[in-house]
Amino acid sequence: MEHFEPNVLLDFFYIIIAIFIAIYNYFRMKNGKSGTGYVFFVIFILLFSLYYRPINSDFWSGILSYQTGTDAYVLHMEPFYYWLISVIPNNYLLWRTAIWLPAAIIIAITYKMMSVSSSNLTTFFFIFALTQTFYYLRNILGFSILCLAIVYLCSHKKDKAKIFYWIIFFGFAFISWLLHKSMPVYISLALVALLLPFNKNYIRIAILIIPILSFFVTDVASEMIGFENIWYVGNGQEYLDAENTFKMNWKGIVSAAIQNAPVAYFYYIAFSKPLPQTNSNFIYYKVFLLFSFFILLLSITFIGIGAEVLRLRFYYTSMFPFAFAVSLYFKEYLNSKQCKNFMYLIAANYSWQLLLIVVLGEH
């Protein structure tokens, strides 16, 4: 079995490389030229997911689950992953490859189905999904399959045989469910995003219902970590209480404001100035925008109830469909003032993160 050690400098190097590749593709796209291709995208995000391993990521908890396998007192992962362990013993990175590589390929196929260029995909996926969620969460394979199902259904929404395509969608959704116990939450929100019409007032509505939703999120949290016996009660509560590290000091407030500024700004422009409904990509844009927004809304409801880990999990997961929505939006409005402002906010965010690491010594 391989031996792994955290390496902050190496992690920082991977982030810098990913950002430079995103910037390169952004300017190539702005100049009407092609950047890196889909194959490069698949290979890079796989390698990033294998070798970028911050201390607080699932990379390390995954090693423990991989080492203990079915000998553990409580089985933490779904049966599929333990079956993979039996097929790929004594090689953790190969095991991760068997999970993250299919997810990467599915993402590339999904973007290709929406006719999004590889430069666009690489720019916005790297900035949001890759560095925040793709490498991080084991449910990424199930989530990728769910996104593929959404695009497949939307691409056939005007066809006569609608029932057939809904059956295919639910078939994919069921497969994604088998791949992670959290997927029923995301499948439910995806269905809401599919069925609800676009409405500019969703942000206002969300502000009103957040206090109501906050009463129910504790039950959601309990279901997600599985309070099934005494062992889970103790360890589940420990999980919920972990990483409640946000501090109301100037760095915490400034970091939160800078980090969330690009996301908040995009939702503002995406709802106030949406793609025209006559646009061929509107249906994909509408679904992924609402899907990401509803997941983000769910994450906000965890604030202040002692479940910071789950808040962050939902927030990071929201970045996955968020990257889809951003790609589709700026496919049409790439040279707009809104896109320029958006990229300035992203640059400010990464500059601040760099300042924290290099000058203030935080990571």
* Res 220 pLDDT > 90: no
Phi and psi based region of residue 229 (left: phi greater than 0; alpha: psi -120 to 50; beta: remaining): beta
Give CA–CA dist 136/130, Å, rounded. 9
Q: Write down the mean pLDDT value for the chain.
A: 84
* Res 211 pLDDT > 70: no
Q: Residue 231: what pLDDT?
A: 34
pTM of the entire structure? 0.87
Q: What is the mean pLDDT of residues 139-160?
A: 90
Q: Residue 320: what pLDDT?
A: 95
Give CA–CA dist 213/215, Å, rounded. 5
If DSSP states are collapsed to H, E and C, what string results for 203-234?
HHHHHHHHHHHCCCHHHHHHHHHCCCCHHHHH
Taking residue 88's Cβ as centre, other Cβ atoms within 10 Å add up to: 16
Backbone torsions φ then ψ of 248, nearest 5 degrees: -80, 60
Q: Are 328 and 275 in contact (CB under 8 A)?
A: yes
Q: Residue 229: what pLDDT?
A: 38
Q: What is the mean pLDDT of residues 129-149?
A: 91
Write out the H or E segment, with its range, that includes residue 356: helix 337-358
Structure confidence at residue 299 as a pLDDT band (50, 70, 90): confident
Give CA–CA dist 186/192, Å, rounded. 10
Residue type, 296: L
Q: What is the mean pLDDT of residues 174-192?
A: 93
Lowest mean pLDDT among 63-72, 141-150, 252-261: 63-72
Q: Which residue has the higher pLDDT, 244 or 133?
A: 133
Q: Residue 72: what pLDDT?
A: 59
Most confident of 39-48, 50-59, 222-231, 308-317: 39-48
Q: Which residues contact 284 (CB under 8 A, 6 or more apart)?
A: 114, 150, 151, 154, 324, 328
Q: What is the mean pLDDT of residues 255-269?
A: 91
Structure confidence at residue 241 as a pLDDT band (50, 70, 90): very low
